[in-house]
Amino acid sequence: MEKDFVFHNPTKIYFGRHAMTHLKDELENYGENILLAYGGGSIKKNGIYDEVIKALKETNKNIIEFSGIMPNPTLNKMLEGVELVKKHHIDLILAVGGGSVIDLAKGVAVSTYASGDAFERYWLNKEAVDNECVPVGAILTMAGTGSEMNGGSVITDEDRKIKVGRVFGSYNYPKFSILNPLFTLTVPRYQMLSGIFDAFSHLMEQYFSDTDNSVTDYLLESLMRALIDAADVAIEDKDNYEARSNIMWISTLALNTLTGLGKSQDWEVHAIEHQISAYTDCAHGMGLAAISPAYYRYIYPFGIDKFKRFAVNVFKIDAEGKSDEELALAGIDALEDFIVTHAMPNSLKKLGVPRELLSKIADSAALGGGYKKLTREDVYAILYNAYERK
């Protein structure tokens, strides 16, 4: 473990079929004014809304609804939430949804009592937070982002076409998160796949960096293997509880900071995807799938040992008779096969991105990287290579 670390994750997790039975006890810890934050209405169709309202009424809460939080949540929507929290003296923001709803709730939580322009200060300039945050509780309805157990909040400024993630400290993690895998049964297939690839990408972003043999890398390999297995089952057998529950918990572990401890990380695929999404509003995980094979083919020579290990330990490729290069590339080919087999887009064209946007995306994507620090021209080359694939 090359790097020192502090590990403190304060989110209390209630996991399983009966996880919702704990909601009332949790609500007792907060005052009476609850901002009920949710998305476009899926929770009304699948009955989760009714369950939440029942618990809120039984604990005598004032319910202030904050609905219509969109995928890739926007700055304007966040400011709408800030006004509601101020007006109604909110004691708890209860976020019911996927990563977008939870991210926006955390955004509102940290922005409401900020002095000045919170988006400018906290997201763009990454300033230290110097104000109180409103507590957030989460009820997760879709697996993928890990937002239920981390401080991440990704917000899109739709006017300036920038999507920016800020990772806040433990002061802005959900206080509690309720994870019932059965809630994910109504997630449309496309969204489920998007969540699966998002979690897989989080694991790869943490894995492809450094050359040592840290326990974190072993953990990442196990979770990648487990996710491939669970995804194969869940896609075929939509109602398989074990597969669904594994996907939900792997996604949470994949980004609750545990799987990044003691090592450096990459996150360039996410940096590029965020700008693809800022311009096209694509589903986050699908944007990641579309560029990942091209990105890894571009950078593998700079970290070839880890790519060989990925091929053998994650995709079970037989190393016998293969050169280093052939083995590394076979792992990336297997990743692309995983994408294609499950009908995810393996190119920007399949994702529906107009070719004219490549240059703008390359101009605006944040530059970083794990094995290779990228320039704007590198990013453009990756986008170009990712544009069209069979």
Interacting residues with Zn ion (CB under 5 A): 198
Could you count the other beta carbons within 10 Å of the beta carbon of residue 64? 17
Q: Is the dihedral of CA 192, 136, 253, 310 positive or negative?
A: positive
Q: What is the token pair recorded at 262? A: 């003691």
- Which string of DSSP letters, residue by residue, matches 33-94? EEEEEE-SSHHHHSSHHHHHHHHHHHTTPEEEEE--PPSS-BHHHHHHHHHHHHHHT-SEEE
Nearer to Zn ion by Cβ, of 34 and 351: the residue is 351
Q: Which does 368 bind (CB under 5 to 8 A by kind): ligand NZQ, Zn ion, none?
A: none
Is residue 111 within the footprint of ligand NZQ (CB under 6 A)?
no
Tell me the site size for ligand NZQ, rule CB under 6 A.
34
Of residues 237-256, those binding ligand NZQ (CB under 6 A): 255
Q: Which does 169 bind (CB under 5 to 8 A by kind): Zn ion, ligand NZQ, none?
A: none
Find, among 197, 122, 194, the residue nearest to 157 by Cα: 122
Q: Of the candidates 74, 145, 275, 346, which one interacts with ligand NZQ according to CB under 6 A? A: 145
Q: Which residues of 67-91 are buried (b: 16+ CB within 10 A; e: fewer)?
A: eebebbbbbebbeebbebbeeeebb
Nearer to Zn ion by Cβ, of 103 and 198: the residue is 198
CB 190, min distance to ligand NZQ, A: 9
Q: Of the candidates 74, 147, 257, 259, which one interacts with ligand NZQ according to CB under 6 A? A: 147
Unique residue bearing structure tokens 């900071």: 257
CB 390, min distance to ligand NZQ, A: 27
CB 231, min distance to Zn ion, A: 16
**CB 7 within 8 Å of CB 66:** no
The runs of H, that is alpha helices, within the chain are 23-27, 42-45, 48-58, 75-88, 99-111, 118, 189-207, 215-236, 241-254, 268-280, 284-299, 304-313, 324-341, 348-351, 358-364, 376-387
Q: Which does 369 bind (CB under 5 to 8 A by kind): Zn ion, ligand NZQ, none?
A: none
Unique residue bearing structure tokens 């609500």: 27
Q: Which does 255 bind (CB under 5 to 8 A by kind): Zn ion, ligand NZQ, none?
A: ligand NZQ
Which range binds ligand NZQ by CB under 6 A, 58-66, 191-199, 221-229, 320-328?
191-199
Nearer to ligand NZQ by Cβ, of 189 and 316: the residue is 189
Residue with the shortest CB distance to Zn ion:
198
Which range binds ligand NZQ by CB under 6 A, 82-90, 94-102, 117-125, 222-230?
94-102
Is residue 195 within the footprint of ligand NZQ (CB under 6 A)?
yes
**CB 374 within 8 Å of CB 268:** yes
- Which string of DSSP letters, residue by residue, matches 294-306? HHHHHHGGGGHHH
Question: What's the rounded Cα separation, in Å, for the pair 29 and 175?
Answer: 11
Nearer to Zn ion by Cβ, of 135 and 151: the residue is 151
Nearer to ligand NZQ by Cβ, of 186 and 280: the residue is 186
Question: What's the rounded Cα separation, in Å, for the pair 253 and 241?
Answer: 18
User: Residue 157: which H helix or E strand, with range?
Assistant: strand 152-157
Nearer to ligand NZQ by Cβ, of 149 and 327: the residue is 149
Of residues 46-75, those binding ligand NZQ (CB under 6 A): 46, 71-72
Residues that bind ligand NZQ (CB under 6 A): 39-42, 46, 71-72, 97-101, 103, 141-142, 144-147, 150, 152, 154, 165, 183-184, 186-187, 191, 194-195, 198, 255, 270, 284
